[in-house]
Amino acid sequence: MPKRRPNREAKPADVPYVIHDTNIPAHDVPHQASVFARAMEGTYPHTEVLKGRRDPDRPLDPLDLLDALPKGTMLTRTSVDQWDNLIATYEGPSFVVVADLTEYGGTISIAAASWDLRVSLSKRLKKALSFHPSPQDIVPIRVWGAGDIIYWDRKELVSWESVEQNYTEKTRIALSGLMAQTEDTQRAGKIILWHGEPGTGKSWALRALLTSWRSWCKADFILDPEAAFDNPKYVADLLHRSDDGYHLFICEDADNLVSSRHGREGRLERILQMSDGILGQDSKVLFLITTNDAPEHLDPAISRPGRCFANIGFTRFTLEETRERLEGTAIKAKGPMTLAETFNATRDEQQIKGKREIEAPGQYL
């Protein structure tokens, strides 16, 4: 649990703090209208409505938001509606805040006496409502879909040292340089491009990269990259909600975005605008795009130097490397193999395959 801020301890003992499990629908809770009433009557004319995601592993606790508000703020009422949403009202000398918190997110309404106070409250509450830091042995990932953050994922740490031998020499050298980057590294571009056939280890390299960068770069996984970069509002939300430091947007198996075989479309243009166009200038947004397409099939615009600062190919092991990996097994290498193929050949449980049936000529005649 995070360390409690002084505001909580300073709260008077007689502050009303009672959970009223009344099963009253949220829109019927009387105190929820207080924000709008104060705004309409002109007492607190400066208003804002915030929406955000929260950590589902943490219990709903109205005192967490109280800690984020100015000293002297009173938690005046709480209730739980019929959907188990927690509604809490906070009042200060010149403002009122109503929070409607669900398991995964929440809506916070603010009414303040001045513009500056409204801005200050907004910043405090955005930070408090956002995702709480995960333990040091976990990498948190925001997962985007349909234009919003739909859930948070967590991955266990994977050190680069534990997996680096799973890559060919050229790929290993390139990935080592990428893993070693820091927030202050000078980068010629904002795009990382990984290409190679399935089974060459791109997903495990990604786990290692997120682990290596976790102290300075947040991870965002886009489930629907084609839809994301086809919708200007989706693009704007990606940028707007990633202004708190470096973010790595991950587009996995995004062949249709970067392949020249599909023709130049608006989706690719928006990625380029976000990387080195006016939208991307001064932003701390990076893109990792993986594809199973061969390099000759990729649109040259995506890999242009100055735009793409890491263009890394994931390849099969050579015949010699394959034989080294299969040494001590009964498998005889007959040619180059992928990481997945060598791994399956050396594990105890083999992939289950159906027996190939040989049809006699003229069987169906």
Question: For the segment 266-296, what is each residue's pLDDT rounded down to a tens digit?
Answer: 577 788 878 776 766 778 999 999 999 888 8
Burial of 26 from C-beta contacts in 10 A (0-12 / 13-18 / 19+): middle
User: Tell me: the pLDDT tens digits for 31-84?
Assistant: 445 566 666 667 888 888 887 666 555 566 778 788 889 988 988 888 776 666
Of 126-135, 141-150, 253-262, highest mean pLDDT? 141-150
Q: In angstroms, rounded to a whole number, what is the distance separating the alpha carbons of residues 248 and 252?
A: 12
Q: Which of 163, 132, 145, 164 is nearest to 56 (CA)?
A: 132
Residue that has been written with the tokens 């006699």 in this structure: 360
Q: At what angle do helices 169-179 and 202-213 cross, to 10 degrees?
A: 20
Contact indicator for 224, 250 with CB cutoff of 8 Å: no
Query: In 203-293, where do the E strands start and end?
Result: 217-222, 246-251, 285-291
Q: What is the pTM of this model?
A: 0.65
Q: What are phi and psi of 259, to 5 degrees?
A: -80, 135
Q: Is the pLDDT of residue 114 over 80?
A: yes
The distance from CA 18 to its chain's CA centroid, rounded to whole angstroms, is 35
Q: Which domains does the chain have, with CATH numbers?
A: 6-129 (3.30.310), 138-313 (3.40.50.300)
